Amino acid sequence: MHPQEAFIKEATSKIADKDLRQRVTFLLEGNDNKRKLALDEFSNLELAKQRAAYVKWKITENLDKYLVDFEAAIVRKGGKVVWAFDAANALAELDQIILRSKAKNIVKSKSALCNEIGLNEHLRSKGKSIVETDLGDYVMDALGEKPFHSVMPAIHKNLSEVNKLLNQKIKSSLDADEQELVSDIRSELRNKFFEADIGITGANFLVADTGFVAITENEGNARLSFAFARTHVVLASIDKLIPTLNDLDLFFTLLATHASGQQLTSYNTITGPRNKEDVDSPSEFIVILLDNGRSNLLATQDQRQALSCIKCGACSSVCPVFKNFGGFPTFQTYGSGPIGQVVGALQQGLEEYKYLSNASTICGKCTGVCPVKIDLHNHLLRNRHEAVQQGFEKTGEKLAWFTWKKFMLNRKNLNRAASIKSFTFRQLYRTDWGEKREFPKIAEKSFNQLWREKMGSV
Ligand code: SF4
């Protein structure tokens, strides 16, 4: 099925699910309130955002230099960097690492890239065991579904759904509350960490000058994923760089406040290849640096700003469209919410994914909340413009707009009876308007007719 058809099908079913929409809206609004309180703690939030935007702009404009600096720093310390052009490259490299280290048990902690490259499906198709260790991702993986929100993957699931699933999977009680479920999952995962041969983690930031990998999380599972493993594989995209360790105090706080309304996330780990004096860290440290279409974005003049994203998820949480039909599974793209819609279309191909830019009210709430000042709603408009410039509109769409323009520029047509205008409107937009939406009621008299009646002829 074409991604746009799948998107329309998913969105239509989500919009019709009132319970889901109410639950998601309630939780996201709660998160939004927490974020506002945390942001009040900044003495000058605007300045912090400007600084972060500047640092990320500097990185993006000089990405070639910073990437090479990062690689050199990692290699100097005894680690390895692998450049993966696309998902297939990254998976092939992982296969090699697994083969070479004769790994049987693999654990992974939250990394959006694992979903992007289809890591779990790939390894399982080869008979390898891989265990998700982030609570939300663990639930979504067990359900065989993709995460809903980048920071809160299972936000749309209610307790009874999760209870039923975990009762079958790990024999937890059907009446267990949230605390009991967390405790059951923790017991289940504890041995998986001890037995892991390879721990795969994502990275929140890659520090260019020192070759450190910074990971921020609330459950401690990312740190445990590589604490006992022989090999630590970091799967990170090329846009995760920051210049120096000093920049982390700004980025850790901006990320925590915007993602979850915390002043600082509970566990903040700065790691890298093992030092000579270390006795208990993984003996092998490998960073897989993934491009997977990000260079397409870098090649654009304006939209490359989207590579500054620090994946806080705030733009999704405030987006009225996202609240109504959610993230990854609906949009059929790697990313979620407004940033996923901007990046997805350019990363995966504008012709096929141009619909992502249209699923927006362009209200600008996403731009207002972004900690690195990405001009999200205008990038969506730019993508729309680009799609038209490149001739990617459907013939029917072109015809509909041509007819609409002709109609709207003709005073006689505009003053025709409402019934004729309604009929024309329905004929033009019958398929695209959607089954669940009512057509707008066209006023009996046009503005021009009302004006003439009131003011006389003009
Ligand atoms: S675009 Fe901005 S608000 Fe959205 S996830 Fe990225 S950093 Fe956060």
Q: What is the pLDDT of residues 153-199, one digit of tens each?
A: 888 888 888 888 888 888 888 888 888 888 988 999 999 999 999 99
- pLDDT at residue 268 tops 70: yes
Calpha distance 53→343 (Å, rounded): 17
User: How remote is the CA of residue 338 from the centroid of ligand 1, in Å?
Assistant: 8
Q: Does the C-beta of 327 come closer than 6 Å to ligand 1?
A: no
Calpha distance 318→377 (Å, rounded): 13
Q: Does the C-beta of 272 come closer than 6 Å to ligand 1?
A: no
- Pairing label, strands 212-217, 267-271: antiparallel
* pLDDT at residue 170 in the model: 85
* pLDDT at residue 375 in the model: 97
User: How remote is the CA of residue 228 from the centroid of ligand 1, in Å?
Assistant: 33
Q: Does the C-beta of 314 come closer than 6 Å to ligand 1?
A: yes
Sequence ranges of the chain with CATH classification 3.40.50.10420: 41-292
User: How remote is the CA of residue 268 from the centroid of ligand 1, in Å?
Assistant: 20
Looking at the CA of residue 342, tell me the nearest atom of ligand 1: 1
- pLDDT at residue 146 tops 90: no
Instruction: List C-alpha distances in Å: 194 to 107, 191, 220, 230, 269.
Output: 10, 5, 14, 11, 19
Q: Does the C-beta of 151 come closer than 6 Å to ligand 1?
A: no
- Residue in this structure with the two tokens 């048990």, named with its chain if needed: 105
Q: Give nearest CA residue, ligand 1 atom 4.
A: 315
* pLDDT at residue 124 in the model: 93
Sequence ranges of the chain with CATH classification 1.10.1060.10: 309-389
Looking at the CA of residue 314, tell me the nearest atom of ligand 1: 3
For the segment 369-395, the average pLDDT, to the nearest whole number, is 94
- Among the listed residues 272, 192, 185, the one whose alpha carbon sits nearest the alpha carbon of residue 224: 192
Give percent of the chain with pLDDT exceeding 90: 66
Contact 412, 397 (CB under 8 A): no
CB burial of 304-337 (b: ≥16 within 10 Å; e: otherwise) equals bbbbbbbbbbbbbbbbebbbbbbbbbbbbbbbbb
CATH number of 41-292: 3.40.50.10420
- Among the listed residues 383, 364, 363, the one whose alpha carbon sits nearest the alpha carbon of residue 374: 364
Q: Does the C-beta of 306 come closer than 6 Å to ligand 1?
A: no
Amino acid at site 221: N
Rg, Å, the chain Cα set: 25
**pTM to 2 decimal places:** 0.90
CATH number of 309-389: 1.10.1060.10
User: How many CB atoms within 10 Å of residue 360?
Assistant: 23
